[in-house]
Amino acid sequence: MTRLVLLSLAFAAGASGQTVQGVVTSNGDSVPLATVRVADTALGTAADAAGAYQLALPDAGTYTLRFSAGGYAPAEREVTASAGETVSLD
């Protein structure tokens, strides 16, 4: 199986909390319709046809994001969102 890689990840503070967004890739190619979930919660979303996703987070804090898609080994990435801060991970 091919491993999923997170190409870019950014947090943006908003009035209703934090947002995490990015593009799910594998070997430089986008992974369409990949699932992105916050570990140990019911929060999640699906990437679009270009592998892009956006997910609202309820509060500032540290989260483990889980990425999965058919035919790919799942991947995890820990991220920290601080109130009022924009964080970009490449």
Where on the phi/psi map is residue 71: left (φ > 0), alpha (ψ -120 to 50), or beta?
Answer: left
Taking the model in full, what pTM does it have?
A: 0.78
Q: What number is the average pLDDT over the span 33-62? A: 91
pLDDT score for 41: 94
Average pLDDT, rounded, for the chain: 80
- Give me the DSSP letters along 63-89: EEEEEE-TTEE-EEEEEEE-TT---EE
Q: 47, 32 in Cβ contact below 8 A?
A: yes
H/E stretch holding 2 reads: strand 2-3
Q: Alpha-carbon distance 56 to 21, whole Å?
A: 9
pLDDT score for 67: 94
Q: Which of 16-25, 26-35, 46-55 has the least mean pLDDT?
A: 16-25
Q: Does residue 75 surpass a pLDDT of 60? A: yes
